[in-house]
Amino acid sequence: MLYCHGLRLPVAGLLLALLTSLGDVRAAFELAGRIPESLRADGEVEVVRERIEERDTQPVAKGRLEAGVLALRVEAEPGLYRLRIGSQETPFVAGEGQRLVVGAADGDREVRLEGSPDHALFLAYEALRRASLRQHVLTVREAQQAARSRGDAAAVDRLTEAEVEGYRVHRRELIDFTLSRLAGSPALYAASLRWEGDYRLAELAAVVRDFVKTHPDWQISRRLESRVRGFESLALGAPAPELAGRAPDGSAVALSGLRGKVVLLDFWASWCGPCRSENRHYVELYQTHRDAGFEILAVSVDHDERGWKAAIAKDRATWRHLSDLVGWKSPLAATYQVTALPASFLIDREGRIVAKDLRGAALTQELKRQLALGR
């Protein structure tokens, strides 16, 4: 989002009525400003709460613009929201009692918000996120696509590994920013989507504890607590949480049914390029070590059943599969706090998590070690 400094937006009286308010009302914030005619569409306005765990939104307020002027008091707790004006949809973070000025210059293609310290932090986070993603992931992905177009399979594999590693670096830069800038702000919740459980988790947990002490009744406090507990439950040595669902043929599959084997729990999707590259590596690994007690349980976050099954067949992925076919809304992925692909967990014969996100030679070495322990 481009941020426009020094834009003075006239506000006239309460011209937009609050029609709907949902959830526990413990605080409020205000939105005010003038919307250019080019962005007004039919004049309808909606504020929705972002629920990043469910990957959906919850309506909070609806109304209409009057002559392009917005003056709205939203009776809702601080958190991550979206402002919808016609087809425009703008994310923002609101703190308790804050007033966000909404507007855009004539000819602009998107609405902007300013005036809230917490939203300013969110904008800084988003600016870093975009720059970091470009530096560590997108440039590598572009090189990978060029290598694929010229048929250089070795370069594609090398760049796929670089993309996965780049994404790890990207996420950790965001966690560093979270700890240095977002403590105490509702913007903390917006950043939590990209946390991971194996990097500075104790520090994240301490920041969340302090936030909850200050705001014990807020919805995002409970959600942040739950997120940290989820990461802590997936620590190395912890029992792997149960997963169960349907295989491509409709039969029941459960992780607990593989107890006694060394299991690679792999989260993937048919549309994920790095995941498909991993599948090619898994074929040889599975064929080599299956008889020694190795199993792969692949959990897909696909929506499309046909695409899921086609990818399994094309990749010769003859191991076990399950999916609930609801994409990123999958409770299966949520159980393991998976918000990016590929992601994997190596589980020993007793059902304990012994490694995460291993690939290539590192995965082969640890797998052989785990298999040898059971002899």
DSSP 239-285: BPPP-EEE-TTS-EEEGGGGTTSEEEEEEE-TT-HHHHHHHHHHHHH
Q: Tell me, what CATH number does 279's domain have?
A: 3.40.30.10
Helix, strand or coil, per DSSP, at residue 8 = coil
For tokens 């400003």, the residue is: 33
Please report whether residue 198 resides in a domain: yes
Portion of the chain with pLDDT greater than 70, in percent? 91
Does 260 lie in the same domain as 227?
A: no
Domains held by the chain: number: 3
H or E element: which one contains 175?
helix 153-177
Does 278 lie in the same domain as 327?
A: yes
Over the chain, what is the mean pLDDT? 88
Does 250 lie in the same domain as 358?
A: yes
For residue 297, give the nearest of 321, 275, 274, 331 by alpha carbon: 321
Does 226 lie in the same domain as 146?
A: yes
Across-strand partners of 113?
Answer: 102
Q: Tell me, what CATH number does 60's domain have?
A: 2.60.40.180
Q: Is the pTM of this model over 0.75?
A: yes
Does 136 lie in the same domain as 59?
A: no
Question: By residue range, what is the domain housing residue 149?
Answer: 120-233
Q: Provide the edge-to-edge strand list for the sheet that holds 44-51.
A: 56-64, 44-51, 79-85, 88-94
Please report whether residue 3 resides in a domain: no
Does 183 lie in the same domain as 222?
A: yes
Q: Work out the number of other CB atoms within 10 angstroms of the CB of residue 318.
A: 14
At residue 95, the pLDDT reads 94
Single residue among 78, 93, 113 that ends a domain in this structure: 113
pLDDT tens for each residue of 137-179: 999 989 988 998 999 988 988 888 888 889 999 999 999 999 9
Res 1 pLDDT > 60: no
Does 320 lie in the same domain as 267?
A: yes
Across-strand partners of 83?
Answer: 47, 90
Does 92 lie in the same domain as 155?
A: no
At residue 107, the pLDDT reads 67
For residue 12, give the nearest of 71, 56, 72 by alpha carbon: 71
Does 126 lie in the same domain as 105?
A: no
Say if residue 342 is preceded by a cis peptide, omega within 30 of 0.
yes
pLDDT tens for each residue of 277-306: 899 999 999 999 999 999 999 999 999 999
Does 342 lie in the same domain as 286?
A: yes
pLDDT tens for each residue of 227-245: 999 999 999 999 999 999 9
Single residue among 233, 257, 281 that ends a domain in this structure: 233
Does 248 lie in the same domain as 362?
A: yes
Res 360 pLDDT > 90: no
Single residue among 58, 85, 113 that ends a domain in this structure: 113
H or E element: which one contains 344?
strand 343-347
At residue 192, the pLDDT reads 96
At residue 175, the pLDDT reads 98
Please report whether residue 316 resides in a domain: yes
CB 305 within 8 A of CB 325: yes
Tokens of 50: 């972002």
